[in-house]
Chains A and B, each alone.
Chain A
């Protein structure tokens, strides 16, 4: 059936079975392949995107639940790849293979949005994505750096 989805600020009409996981609509119907498939059972977080600002594991989230809400994927984080969180990731050379990093960034961004100065314990609780290369050490540093960069950016705007 035809569904209307608001993805990264643009409204799309897609034809999909309402129970189809949002991941596959995003990747295959809309061609936004930055969001990744890995486990299919909401365990690893590679498919993390935002629905109304909340991090969602889209491999196990029916597309029908996203209708009328604002969906943000890694492609919607910035237009130029220079959101503070992306700058921090680049500055620390955080990714290795990079496959889980879209989901990792989306989880970290959701955390930073509601908690601009997270502690290590906050990070442990909120960023539960799996990374097989184990970029965790640099990801943690990058989240702290992103928090500082976001603060600097908001101060310079003020």
Chain B
């Protein structure tokens, strides 16, 4: 190991890393900063003071139960729902449960216990089983962690935390409970079958003796389970904690400002970095005038960083840039603002604009495309139809724009990397750290923080990679990188710009004979098949679905709703258009077309439509300028596995001067075999209605000269409380399958519904989002 005094900043190394950089002396902190104890309000991993029962559970002598959470809390309530799944089985005192983050470092060094690997039961339609988790392709570099590593999937995405984690979190709770009881039985010399456990108290009924989890925890930690493969999980009818409305366990610290987000991390000797990346993706730094900021207050140095290696950012090409390092972030940012940077921009990338990209997508829609589904004879049906309806829809690039700008604190020493970050994919960040620094993943420590919003962010953005590169050039000094809001718009990944052309042949009664769906997005866009694959959700005798792609440079990723959000806007808008063309009620038209399908969960879809319509008073009179529109939201109904189904009726008014108000939303949402925390689900639905309302009404990012135009909240609009629907009614109905999840694709219906309400009120049909760009006046 090198002398730690030299590890702070190696002048030659720094210069080599950044030829145009200048270097000032750095204060060299002790390398012990990495072992800093958590600050109050921080939730990151700590080594337990008492032995763990298993990798998820530590019981302290006072019966405090520490539950380790391997997913990231970003507002969706996983901190609470994961703990509920563990504690349902543990049967502990819920008031003494304290979640902390699981160790992503340990996940690099340990494999999952064997008893967590086999999913009990018979898949998505077995109420007694573990459901239908999907871990995806878990290659080490593929973004899903190492195969069967300790915490398996640590990613927080695709609304899958419950779906993928439930069975083994229940198993973990059950394993710990059985070992605690076994420890008590052994210490009393009685048969474990004579014991019961409830609220952290173990009772031996024949003798009336009791003890607590805290008292036997140490013994339990040394008592192996004799047959862990035989552990069973509780079916929903036995749940007592799961299925109840529980407030979030971390809510108290969120009303006092105590929560430590990544932006709030302070470690001894930490310096701040502000960065500016080339606004055109794929661009890099040509030169910058470092001397100009040399004497600015607090400034310690500046360096160039390259385009992050695309293999660390899921193939996405971001930009190179300049980092200024200073004692405080405001000093770094102020100096950076005064720095003139010359960029090298590939001309073909600078040539992209919204107009040129849109034209390219429209051209792609005219090409044959990649046919995904071809059922019946679409062309013959078009030839004999009594009526053809065709429509082309457009959705813009959309960022996540979470409230906390991208940031990370990284300390690299000779043999260890420490990263303090809010991260939806710690396993990938761990991999990036190892690749950039050459320090093995086993020596990378992630100190996970709550995220100030997620929405899909961060598995694919380069904030961690930039911070690691900068810190790696300043070994021994913790570097806290923080993006400005404008930089956050460059560093995020986007939902791809999309277009779709839908064409239907109607018979004399207005029922579709054939449907052709062409969807267009850039070839690396996420979810190109969503909502249309395998089979049409609405019955047509002939159905053809094709993808049409082109190459754009904007880095795209898994934004909330992914491809499905745009696709459900296209699909549900078009069904409305067909219903109006047929002169039929859009609710009953949908109902009939679903009833005619052979889809596995068609009864559940009909139930959702019926319930939402009834809740809304569908068909009862409304004042002038007000209309109701209905739409279906589904995921997974084409396969018969796990699925999520809901329908919503949106009551919308449009004033004569064109102001839209979402007045009321009636939500019929399935609960499957059971929701873990119905309160969290309601909050997620409330939030997603407004998320997609923003997509429908307000939000777009345009491209000019290859760069994002709307890059702060002055031009990129966020709705406020005055646009929140005054009434949101949510009702659940049981169904006979496990849900896919509901954290990212509920509320998509608001897009088509507002467009259709506007049509009903104004007579004008708009097919391009956001709707506020159109003239909505009427009368």
Contacts and interface: CB of A to CB of B under 8 A. Distances in A.
Interface of A: 17, 20-21, 24, 28, 31-41, 43-44, 46, 73-75, 77-78, 81, 86, 89-90, 93, 95-102, 105, 120, 123-125, 127-140
Interface in B711-744: 712-714, 718-722, 724-726, 728
B261 interface: yes
27 contacts: A17-B297, A28-B328, A28-B329, A33-B257, A33-B260, A33-B266, A36-B261, A36-B263, A43-B714, A74-B256, A78-B256, A81-B252, A81-B256, A90-B247, A93-B247, A93-B679, A95-B255, A97-B404, A98-B452, A100-B452, A101-B255, A124-B721, A133-B453, A135-B683, A136-B724, A137-B724, A138-B686
A81 B255 contact: yes
Interface stretch (B616-624, B687-695, B769-777): B687-695
B236 interface: no
B610 interface: no
Contacts of B403: 36, 38, 44, 46, 97, 99-100, 130-132
B258 interface: yes
A33 B683 contact: no
A136 B721 contact: yes
B484 interface: yes
Interface in B247-267: 247-248, 250-261, 263-264, 266
Given A20-B330, A97-B452, A41 B485 contact: yes
Contacts of A81: 252-253, 255-256, 258
CB-based closest 10 A-B pairs: A34-B257, A99-B452, A97-B75, A96-B75, A98-B254, A134-B690, A74-B257, A124-B722, A136-B724, A33-B264
Contacts of A101: 254-255
A99 to B, nearest CB: 3
B713 A44 contact: yes
A134 B686 contact: yes
Interface in B110-161: none
A128 B485 CA distance: 19
Contacts of A131: 403
Interface in B391-426: 400-405
Interface string B589-633: 000000000000000000000000000000000000000000000
Question: Taking each of A73, A97, A138, which has the highest tally of chain B beta carbons within 10 Å of its own beta carbon?
Answer: A97
Given A99-B452, A133-B453, A28 B330 contact: yes
Contact of A75 (B248, B257, B689): B257
A20 to B, nearest CB: 6
Contact of A38 (B258, B330, B485, B686): B485
B453 A99 contact: yes
Given A28-B328, A100-B403, A89 B255 contact: yes
Contact of A95 (B251, B690, B691, B726): B251
A73 B453 CA distance: 22
Contacts of B253: 81
Nearest to A21: B330
A133 B740 CA distance: 21
Contact of B687 (A21, A32, A96): A96
A84 B737 CA distance: 42
B687 A134 contact: yes
A134 B451 contact: no
Nearest to B263: A37
Given A21-B330, A97-B451, A130 B687 contact: no
A95 B79 CA distance: 13
A97 B453 contact: yes
Given A17-B297, A134-B686, 13 more contacts: A20-B330, A34-B258, A35-B257, A37-B263, A39-B485, A44-B718, A81-B255, A81-B256, A86-B255, A90-B252, A96-B683, A97-B75, A137-B690
B746 interface: no
B718 A132 contact: yes
Contacts of B452: 36, 38, 97-100
What DSSP secondary structure best describes chain B's contact surface? loop
B181 interface: no
Contacts of A125: 722
B454 interface: yes
A13 to B, nearest CB: 17
A38 to B, nearest CB: 5
Contacts of A41: 485, 712-714
A77 to B, nearest CB: 7
Nearest to A103: B403
A24 B330 contact: yes
Contact of A129 (B75, B259, B266, B720): B720
A16 to B, nearest CB: 9
Contacts of B251: 89-90, 93, 95
Contacts of B485: 38-41
Contact of B405 (A37, A86, A100, A129): A37
Given A38-B404, A134-B690, A98 B259 contact: yes
Nearest to A91: B247
Nearest to B330: A24
B713 A130 contact: yes
B252 to A, nearest CB: 6
B454 A97 contact: yes
Nearest to B715: A43
Given A33-B264, A41-B712, A137-B728, A93 B256 contact: no
A100 B258 CA distance: 13
A130 B247 CA distance: 23
Contacts of B73: 97
A128 B720 contact: yes
Nearest to A33: B264
B76 interface: yes
Nearest to B256: A81
A78 B451 CA distance: 25
A138 B683 contact: yes
Contacts of A99: 261, 402-404, 452-453
B571 interface: no
A132 B453 contact: yes
A39 B713 contact: yes
Contacts of B725: 137
Contact of A31 (B255, B266, B719, B726): B266
Contacts of A140: 721, 724
Question: Taking each of A20, A24, A33, which has the highest tally of chain B beta carbons within 10 Å of its own beta carbon?
Answer: A33
B453 A136 contact: no
B455 interface: yes
A68 B258 CA distance: 27
A133 B687 contact: yes
B74 interface: yes
Contacts of B247: 90, 93
Nearest to B328: A28
A123 to B, nearest CB: 6
Interface string B415-459: 000000000000000000000000000000000001111110000
Contacts of A130: 403, 713, 718, 720
A98 B450 contact: yes
A28 B453 CA distance: 22
Given A44-B403, A90-B251, A99-B452, A135 B722 contact: no
Contacts of A34: 256-258
A128 to B, nearest CB: 5
B405 A38 contact: yes
Contacts of B74: 97
Contacts of A73: 257
Contacts of B451: 97
A77 B725 CA distance: 29
A111 to B, nearest CB: 11
